[in-house]
């Protein structure tokens, strides 16, 4: 479990993380979402003891990172996949990490197998693809068999196969009862990977909820109906939770009813329909809406 308790980080006048209190539960994949600059990496760095909070604290299973006598066996992290000595082989890299933490050689072979690095373990890390580098970073994070995993943008820049692998691996680790906390700036990716989502915008928590309820709240369901009898249809479907909006002369957008309910009402009243289309706002659109006031660097469209 990871507990963030009024966690705050200021860099001079800039507040990167602004008083966040969140609990990240074991046995689940928790997605940490937010636009660039939202404060995700800074939060993860504070959990890992790499940045000191200005205020508040971050606890892993009840302790601060600095209090662990053997941190690698408590928490593994992938924070910057490129920060690896490039001249070494993957095997040598993992072996030296293991040696300095009293981890047996057999575990190095285990994590190499677990992350599918067998065929490249003897190759120099400098020649690794991004995907292989990510796998190596995850292998290093798994060396101490930690109960808590923190991965910063683990799918960034990966091909579809790599993305799928990270997704399945994260789910597998959570199913073993581990706490898995991973960041992304892509809602669609997180919706497929996470059980629970924490959305950050300008250092503040904008949402902290199970992925299902985020999806339900985020997606707008409406039905587009084309009919030569719009007034009649609007009267026929009228009800407390129903909203009818005119889009064009013979085109309505109706919320609060399913396409089937609208079709049946129209049939009952003899109203002719030319089109009946369920529409839903994409998840990515909903996420942009949620964070639009919180994007630090907005792309200006020049005309
Ligand atoms: N060492 C630092 N000194 C000054 N400002 C910093 C420092 N580290 C981060 N920041 C600022 O804090 C804010 C949050 O940055 P952070 O990297 O945590 O965001 P992020 O959500 O991880 O975004 P990204 O995906 O772009 O890394 C940004 O405005 C960033 O410029």
Q: Which pLDDT belongs to residue 287?
A: 73
Mind listing the pLDDT tens digit for each residue in 187-245? 888 888 999 999 998 899 988 999 888 777 666 678 999 999 999 999 999 988 899 98
- Residue 81: count other Cβ atoms within 10 Å of its Cβ: 23
Confidence class of residue 82 from pLDDT cuts 50, 70 and 90?
A: low
Is the predicted pLDDT of residue 298 greater than 70, yes or no?
no
User: How far apart are the CA of 40 and the centre of ligand 1, in A?
Assistant: 8
Between 223 and 286, whose confidence is greater?
223
Interval 140-151: pLDDT, tens: 999 999 999 999
43-80 in b/e form (b: 16+ CB < 10 A) is bbbbbbbebebeebebbbeeeebeebeebbbbbbbbbe
Residues 219 and 282: their CA atoms lie apart, in Å, by 6
pLDDT (0 to 100) of residue 136: 92
Could you tell me where the DSSP H helices lie in the chain? 40-47, 90-100, 105-114, 130-142, 160-175, 187-193, 211-218, 230-237, 259-268, 283-291
What is the distance between the alpha carbons of residues 42 and 45, in angstroms, rounded to a whole number?
A: 5
CA of 169 to the centre of ligand 1 (A): 27
Is residue 37 within 6 Å of ligand 1 at its C-beta? yes
Residue with the smallest CA separation from ligand 1 atom 10 is 16
- Residue 297: band (very low, low, confident or very high) from pLDDT cuts 50, 70, 90: very low
pLDDT for residue 85: 64
| Confidence at residue 301, expressed as pLDDT on a 0 to 100 scale | 38
Averaged over 293-300, what is the pLDDT?
50
Please state, in angstroms and rounded to a whole number, the distance separating the CA atoms of residues 200 and 113.
35
Provide the angle, in degrees to the nearest 10, between the axes of the packed helices 130-142 and 105-114.
Answer: 140
Instruction: Domain 221-280: give its CATH code.
Output: 3.30.70
Q: Which pLDDT score, from 0 to 100, does residue 282 have?
A: 64
pLDDT value for 218: 64
Q: Give the pLDDT score at 278.
A: 86
Give the Å distance between the CA of 283 and the centre of ligand 1.
25
- Cβ atoms 220, 255 nearer than 8 A: yes
Interface pTM, i.e. ipTM = 0.94
Q: Which fold has domain 2-217?
A: Rossmann fold (3.40.50)
Q: Which of 9, 10, 31, 38 to mutate to test the pocket of ligand 1 (most atoms within 8 A of CB)?
A: 38
State the helix-helix crossing angle for 211-218 and 283-291, rounded to 10 degrees.
90
Query: How is the chain split into domains, by residue range?
Result: 2-217, 221-280
> Contact, 272 vs 227, CB < 8 A?
yes
Per-residue pLDDT tens over the stretch 155-186: 887 888 888 999 999 999 999 999 999 999 88
Answer whether residue 296 shows pLDDT above 80: no
Q: What is the mean pLDDT of the chain?
A: 89
Name the least confident of 5-19, 118-132, 204-218, 282-296: 282-296
List all residues 6 or more positions away from 149 whose beta carbon is below 8 Å from its beta carbon: 75, 76, 77, 141, 142, 170, 173, 178, 179, 180, 181, 182
Q: For residues 224 and 252, what is the distance between their CA atoms, to the nearest angstrom?
A: 6
Query: Ligand 1 mean position to 1 CA, how many Å?
Result: 24
| One fold for 2-217 and 221-280 | no
Question: In whole angstroms, what is the distance from residue 1 CA to residue 59 CA?
Answer: 8
Mutation choice for ligand 1 from 18, 34, 39, CB with most ligand atoms inside 8 A: 39
């Amino acid at each position: 479990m990871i507990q963030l308790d009024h966690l705050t980080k200021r860099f001079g006048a800039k507040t990167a993380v602004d008083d966040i209190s969140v609990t990240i539960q074991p046995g689940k994949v928790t997605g940490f979402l937010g636009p660039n600059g939202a404060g995700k990496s800074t939060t993860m760095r504070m959990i890992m003891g790499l940045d000191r909070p200005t205020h508040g604290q971050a606890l892993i299973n009840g302790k601060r990172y600095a209090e662990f006598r053997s941190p690698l066996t408590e928490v593994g992290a992938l924070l910057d996949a490129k920060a690896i000595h490039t001249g070494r082989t993957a095997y040598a890299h993992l072996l030296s990490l293991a040696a300095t933490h009293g981890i047996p050689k057999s575990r190095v072979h285990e994590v190499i197998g677990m992350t599918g690095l067998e065929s490249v373990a003897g190759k120099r890390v400098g020649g690794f693809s991004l995907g292989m580098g990510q796998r190596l970073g995850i292998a290093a994070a798994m060396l101490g068999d930690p109960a808590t995993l923190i991965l910063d943008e683990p799918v960034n820049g990966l091909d579809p196969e790599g993305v799928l692998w990270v997704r399945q691996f994260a789910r597998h680790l959570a199913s073993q009862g581990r706490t898995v906390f991973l960041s992304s700036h892509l809602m669609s990716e997180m919706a497929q990977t996470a059980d629970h989502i924490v959305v950050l915008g300008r250092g503040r928590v904008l949402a902290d909820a199970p992925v299902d309820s985020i999806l339900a709240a985020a997606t707008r369901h409406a039905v587009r109906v084309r009919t030569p009898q719009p007034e009649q249809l609007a009267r026929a479907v009228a009800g407390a939770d129903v909203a009818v909006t005119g889009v064009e002369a013979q085109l309505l957008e109706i919320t609060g009813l399913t396409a089937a309910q609208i079709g049946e009402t129209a049939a009952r009243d003899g109203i002719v329909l030319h089109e009946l289309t369920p529409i839903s706002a994409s998840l990515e659109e909903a996420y942009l809406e949620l964070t639009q006031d919180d994007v630090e660097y907005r792309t200006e469209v020049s005309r």
